[in-house]
Every structure is written in structure tokens, then in C-alpha cells.
Amino acid sequence: MHEHPIYTQTRTKQLLATYGLRAKKSLGQHFMIDGNVLRAMVAAVPPEAVVIEIGPGLGALTEQLAQRVHAVVAVEIDVHMVRVLQDVLAPYAHVHIVHADVLRIQWQQLYTEMIAPYGAERPVYVVANLPYYVTTPIVLALLRDAVFVRTAIVMMQEEVCARMTASPCTKAYGSLSIAIAYYAHAHMMRTIPATAFYPPPHVQSAVMRLDRRDIPPVMVHDEQVLFALVRAAFAHRRKTLSNNIASLLPDRDAKAVCAEWLRAAGIDGQRRGETLDIAQFAALANHAPAVLRTDGAMI
């Protein structure tokens, strides 16, 4: 085994040079070079867990995970990184590298083929320094589709983390905050300066912890209606709730139908969407008129 951990700046640069590579901005490649940050992320995972890592890159985080947890399944899109990983992580038989775009992963298949064999009772975690250009779709797909994932410990842009964990009546609160709150308890663990990465990104980062809820915080007849409604409510932040959600109704009679809808749900249509909490959105969703238009998107 190599005597220096992968995460040092020297070894990171050395690995890139040895394999003739450069960090690709287009794939959000910013490698972690701060051992304390890595150790804090890894310490949040119980040793008996099976971990899915998204975007292992050169293996800085993967190596630390390999030394602590039961098994690691690491999904990397860049074939050049995959070649490095196959070499540097060769000593760890319980680390599996999957060459794939995480946004195209069949989660159930991944579970059956690579995780279930380690035992159905094992907690499954996601641990990742996410590629920032696709943070939101990755987190939403995990919450909606990878139902076997109990907890995620993920590095992302601080500003995105703030939106995901925001409360009503704050500037960061929006449809993303509500989508996340529907599926998980989420909080920011710590902020991370750009100097923790090579090359440093232009933004501050943060580590977020998401714990999947056993049951949603609100009961709705139709999740698609809830998400369509939330999206419409935040579409124009300066418009009233009533004006925003009327866009979901066919033009004819929209005003009258909307007024009756709000009355039945007990919500004042003159409020702004950002003042409503998830329970109030659920009340609106459960009183939605049958003519409501939805398109199946989450945010």
C-alpha cells in the first residue's frame, strides 16, 4: 500500500501527472485535499454500512471510506478517473468501481446486484463530494428513487445547501427546500473553504447531512399535485399565492375556482408562497380542484 494518503495535494498532483490528466471543469472535478474534512465526513458513517460514493475522482474520499466501512460502491463518469481508481484502490477488495453517469443509474438494479449481497440488514449510506453542476438532480433522484439509502453525507455548494435546508419566510426558502423536507431531515454540518480542494472552486462549500424520513411529514393524496403547486407558488416571488397558483388552472373560471380552492383550504390567497410551510402546501394540495394541471416534475 502507498505510504501517503491520496488526499494530499502532492499526491493528487502526482497522480494527475502520472496519468497525464487535468482536472476537468466540465465534470466539476475539484479534488479534496483536506484530511480533516474527509475524516469528519467518514466519521459520520457507521463501520457496518455499505456506502455508495458518487464521483470518486482520484479516490481521496474512497480510500478513507475503504479503511472504515464494510463496502464501497463508487460511481464515476470519467473513464480516465476509473483507470486511476482501479490502480490506486486495487488493495481494497471491498471497493467496487462502477463506470456510469449517476443520473442514469437504475438504483434498484444497483441495489440488487451490488449492495444486497452484503446483507439486506446493512445500513446504506451515500457519501460524496458531489459534482456541483448536477448537485440538485442527483440529490432529488436519490431521495425519490434510491429508497434503500438511509442517510447521505454530501459536499455541495454552500448556497445550494442553504436553499435545501431553508425555513419559510427566508430568502433561500423555495420549492427545493420543500421537496427536500418532504423526503428527509436535512441540515448543514459545516461550511468548507475553497482551499480544501485542488483546484479550488470559486464558491464556498458545505457538508450536508440528509436522513430519510420513515413517513412523510404531511399526508397528501397526490405527490405530483403537491410538487406542481409548490413550484407554481414560487414561480414569481413577487406575485401573490393566488395569482401564482391560478396558472395551474384552465383560463376559464380560473379566478373563481382559485378563490373557492383557497377558501376550502383555509389559506389567504394574498399571502406570498414563501410564507407557507409544508403543512399549508399539503392542505392546499388536498383541496386542489380536479382540473389542476401537473407535469410530474419535482422542482
Q: Which is nearer to ligand SAM, 129 or 280 (CB)?
A: 129
CB atoms within 10 A of CB 61: 27
Helix (H, G, I), strand (E, B) or coil at 282: helix
| DSSP code of residue 104 | G
- The phi and psi torsions of 208 (rounded to 5 degrees) equal -115, 145
Q: Find residue 212's DSSP bridge partners.
A: 184
Q: Which is nearer to ligand SAM, 6 or 285 (CB)?
A: 6
Q: Which is nearer to ligand SAM, 11 or 30 (CB)?
A: 30
* Helices vs. strands in the chain: H and E counts, helices first: 12, 9
Closest distance to ligand SAM from the beta carbon of 148 (Å) = 19
Residue nearest to ligand SAM (CB): 55
Closest distance to ligand SAM from the beta carbon of 32 (Å) = 4
Only one residue has cell 437504475, namely: 106
Q: Which is nearer to ligand SAM, 119 or 200 (CB)?
A: 200
CB 59 within 8 A of CB 84: yes
Residues in the chain: 299
Residues that bind ligand SAM (CB under 6 A): 27-32, 54-58, 60-61, 75-78, 81, 101-103, 129, 131, 134
Closest distance to ligand SAM from the beta carbon of 182 (Å) = 24
Closest distance to ligand SAM from the beta carbon of 126 (Å) = 12
Only one residue has cell 470519467, namely: 78
Among 141, 111, 140, 113, CA closest to 124? 111
Closest distance to ligand SAM from the beta carbon of 79 (Å) = 10
